Structure 1
């Protein structure tokens, strides 16, 4: 059994080894006579020995720390975070290089830390290396799961799930119960994703649904902690020792659950209407398939869909509702727009959304301020140049879309919630740029607005996410007034605390606890 004293000794030994390695490397580089070509790396802020630029990361969220760095030192920076090298991109013109001009050169993502020691490794889709497997799974996503015909087919599913969520909130309102709206919205998005992927609502088994959501949050939190270990170089195993076992355990829990789901689908046999899980199993069982995929890859892919499809949409809806509650004038404008289009006799539906431009502007503005992936990570696949600077193969590239979409050189009053900037009549939207659900579109596309990233690795599920978010927000505004329940530190009366929590996404620091008050009950006949 290892005692605390033993652990301290091991840590001391590792520190000595690490510092010795750095010293020897610096001496070798200093006295090496081997000629090297003249390279022009991007500028770098002042660094400290060993830790590099880690001391510049002074806030709880990396996107904000990176924004502070770029504001002071420039839009393209060469950073050293402990033992890791990173290229930080913080302007729309530089992002265009990454997402468009040299998209193929930056089409990889860094391998997840200690992937070979975890059940799924790098078998998932979103973190997969750019190659045949990734391209094949992307094609399946775009032609099957997120294809227009599939979105049309799944419309009723989303309508039913939104109706269930609305009824649950009406019950809470009647009982004068404060609800964790974030938790309720997570159930909605999780159930909608489950139905789209495997024709089964997770809500049909309350205990199982709660277990899935709890495992998703654990997985995301632990994966974040383990991945941060990369900055420690030879000491990065410390992070894995602390959290790796827990991450492996929750991954195995997911594996057992997903295996049960796959077996249930296999037992059902051939069906006329195939869901996405049926399709994946069909490819898996087909010896003549374009690409042979493994059972592990199927489960890793499904896990990516559950986590990505649930958490990003949930957080977007939370931030949007929080801003609307804090801006009652904007809330009332959305409600009046819905009333003018939908009337007072039925619940708003997906088909109404194209006729609700102000609602869409509200969601776009929320995505601008709180993008689902505030820092988009890529890896350089080959040596290349950006604006005359040399970028080496293998370096990690972090594009800070959070900073770009709050850049005062692009956006008026960038930190203010102003949906009007996305209306056609706004001076904020220049004639050469048309903002739509895909971002700013021009003959020469720029990336002033890129909440879902860009290029070939842009989030493939953004279309269905926007459909669900817009419709759910419209329902929350149409049916309820809201009062703030419990308050976080420093919160004003009936104001939502807008502090950002720690994490690789942009979670709210405090639960969105609200008291719903019925404004319109669509389930009660007006007769």
Structure 2
């Protein structure tokens, strides 16, 4: 922040000259804007945690605001009602993601599904995700992979818990989710330290971190081409490392496919599906190598850290609320019993566990902010949103809106339970009070995978272990800057095995 202010002061004369030359805007009724400063606009109102800063701004000035950062303006949305108007009522007006310098380069100049502009390619990739890559059939095909990885994960916890060792819950769950995704993607476990799967994960983590960094170039003006923070060189270097590793994996697959017999077709992974389309001359859209590489960055970014962080936040809340943990365990013991491990197919019969997941998503959404860009001028709540204006929907703030949630800062899974004992409110965007995976045509296509991995992993951890804090007290709930709402401090706990007969099978 200090470096940023120094640079601004140095460039102040030139920036003032540019402002004076800019033509005044028309008389369109734009959303109200809080008082700002010359040059930097509202940048001084931000802090290390933008979602919290945006929340404080909206609490003071209202749920629909216009903010300015450098030469760029955006619309801040902080209520379910206005989020619905933007992402559902006017969905056709907000079909693109705004450009972000680091992320654009990481995704091979928007060659992926997340950042790709709305159009034929995006529609094709969206259809590919839903009908093939993450279809019910594909997910069912890989269910043994997820079940096996869950057992290996529990085996590691059982071994260390039996010795009374403290574990870093976040690291353990993160390794589980990465193992699931790398095995589904190209049949390589990332926990095998020397494997290509492990190499991919290390580089992907760097790329995801770089994607979430604030880059001065995104403020426009003279910053756009100067690269004052040196990110261009760093991102180029890290993406080059990723490119070498993923290209080697693709070539290995291409060679093995030449010898693949029909009887081994059941071993096909997500890369095989993509290569089928890549090699098909009659495909509706011809995929490039960059499309395939960018796709895997999408599935790693959306399918690993988001799931592991949600499970970790849920466990932190449960350790601070042992009564809720005990209630969930009683439900699992009642429905699943004590003779076998909980499975994905059991989750629909565990409404309290489902409600714990929903309450975790409400208080600790791993997608704190949804960003869109207006593809055309439109009207929202009586105000004009100009074409190409960015819209920021603060999901974190919506989950704490006292007009929609009773006692919004308290962890209460019961708020999702109805009188029939069912868990209400879908996670698939019918309810804008709980915008976990976005909404509209740009809704996250990975919801089907996440809603299998997260509750099943959490239920298994509750079922198999009593969780003991080595130093007593409560778990802190502090956040730190980063993509996906990471915890400021690791969640450390001792997994004490419960006396369940089937746990002997994991030793």
Structure 2-normalised TM-score? 0.92
Does residue 480 of structure 2 align to residue 480 of structure 1? no
Distance in 2, matches of 1:423 and 1:222, equals 39
Aligned to 1:318: 312
Aligned to 2:235: 247
- The partner residue of 2:205 within 196, 217, 222 is 217
Aligned to 2:503, what secondary structure does the other structure show?
A: coil
CA contact (8 A) 2:188 2:196 kept: no
CA contact (8 A) 2:31 2:383 kept: yes
Aligned to 1:202, what secondary structure does the other structure show?
A: coil
Structure 2: gaps (5+ residues): none
Deviation of 1:413 (Å): 0.4
Distance in 1, matches of 2:323 and 2:399, equals 24
Distance in 2, matches of 1:350 and 1:129, equals 35
Aligned to 1:403, what secondary structure does the other structure show?
A: helix
Distance in 2, matches of 1:116 and 1:401, equals 23
Does residue 45 of structure 2 align to residue 60 of structure 1? no
Aligned to 1:406: 400
Distance in 1, matches of 2:208 and 2:126, equals 22
Aligned to 2:416: 422
Query: In the TM superposition, what are the counterparts of 1:78-89 in structure 2 within 5 Å?
Result: 78-89=66-77
Aligned to 2:425: 435
Does residue 280 of structure 2 align to residue 291 of structure 1? no
Distance in 2, matches of 1:218 and 1:253, equals 10
Structure 1-normalised TM-score? 0.88
Distance in 1, matches of 2:194 and 2:495, equals 22
CA contact (8 A) 2:196 2:245 kept: no
CA contact (8 A) 2:106 2:207 kept: no
- The partner residue of 2:447 within 441, 455, 462 is 462
Distance in 2, matches of 1:405 and 1:119, equals 30
Deviation of 1:84 (Å): 1.9
CA contact (8 A) 1:89 1:399 kept: yes
- The partner residue of 1:523 within 480, 503, 507 is 503
Structure 1: gaps (5+ residues): 1-7, 31-35, 487-492
Distance in 1, matches of 2:285 and 2:57, equals 44
- The partner residue of 2:163 within 172, 175, 178 is 175
Aligned to 1:394, what secondary structure does the other structure show?
A: coil
CA contact (8 A) 1:226 1:243 kept: no
Distance in 1, matches of 2:85 and 2:223, equals 34
Distance in 1, matches of 2:185 and 2:389, equals 35
Cα separation, partners in 2 of 1:335 and 1:383, compared to 1, 3 Å: same
Deviation of 1:164 (Å): 0.3
Aligned to 1:29, what secondary structure does the other structure show?
A: coil
CA contact (8 A) 2:33 2:67 kept: yes
Aligned to 1:302: 296
Deviation of 1:111 (Å): 2.0
Please give the per-residue CA displacement for 1:476-497, whole angstroms capped at 9, x wherever unaligned: 11111112347xxxxxx33211
Task: Give the paired residue count.
Answer: 497
CA contact (8 A) 1:111 1:122 kept: no
Distance in 2, matches of 1:172 and 1:243, equals 40
- The partner residue of 1:364 within 355, 358, 361 is 358
Cα separation, partners in 2 of 1:196 and 1:520, compared to 1, 3 Å: farther
Aligned to 2:85: 97
- The partner residue of 1:396 within 379, 390, 393 is 390
CA contact (8 A) 2:102 2:211 kept: no
Aligned to 2:125, what secondary structure does the other structure show?
A: helix
Deviation of 1:359 (Å): 0.4
Please give the per-residue CA displacement for 1:284-323, whole angstroms capped at 9, x wherever unaligned: 1122110112111111111111122111001101100100
Deviation of 1:230 (Å): 1.4
Deviation of 1:227 (Å): 3.8
Distance in 2, matches of 1:303 and 1:75, equals 33
Deviation of 1:95 (Å): 0.5
Aligned to 1:129: 117
Aligned to 1:3: none
Aligned to 1:225, what secondary structure does the other structure show?
A: coil
Aligned to 2:19, what secondary structure does the other structure show?
A: helix
- The partner residue of 2:30 within 35, 41, 47 is 41
Distance in 2, matches of 1:508 and 1:215, equals 21
Aligned to 1:376, what secondary structure does the other structure show?
A: strand
Distance in 2, matches of 1:438 and 1:28, equals 43
Distance in 1, matches of 2:103 and 2:172, equals 32
Aligned to 2:384, what secondary structure does the other structure show?
A: strand
Deviation of 1:55 (Å): 1.6
Aligned to 1:436, what secondary structure does the other structure show?
A: coil
Aligned to 2:425, what secondary structure does the other structure show?
A: strand
Distance in 2, matches of 1:292 and 1:212, equals 25
Aligned to 2:496, what secondary structure does the other structure show?
A: strand
Deviation of 1:405 (Å): 1.5
Please give the per-residue CA displacement for 1:392-442, whole angstroms capped at 9, x wherever unaligned: 11111100111111100000001110000010129999xxxx512324x4x
Aligned to 1:113: 101
CA contact (8 A) 2:188 2:195 kept: no
CA contact (8 A) 2:167 2:493 kept: yes
- The partner residue of 1:387 within 381, 391, 400 is 381
Cα separation, partners in 2 of 1:12 and 1:199, compared to 1, 3 Å: closer
Deviation of 1:464 (Å): 1.3
CA contact (8 A) 1:113 1:226 kept: no
Distance in 1, matches of 2:428 and 2:236, equals 36
Cα separation, partners in 2 of 1:426 and 1:349, compared to 1, 3 Å: closer
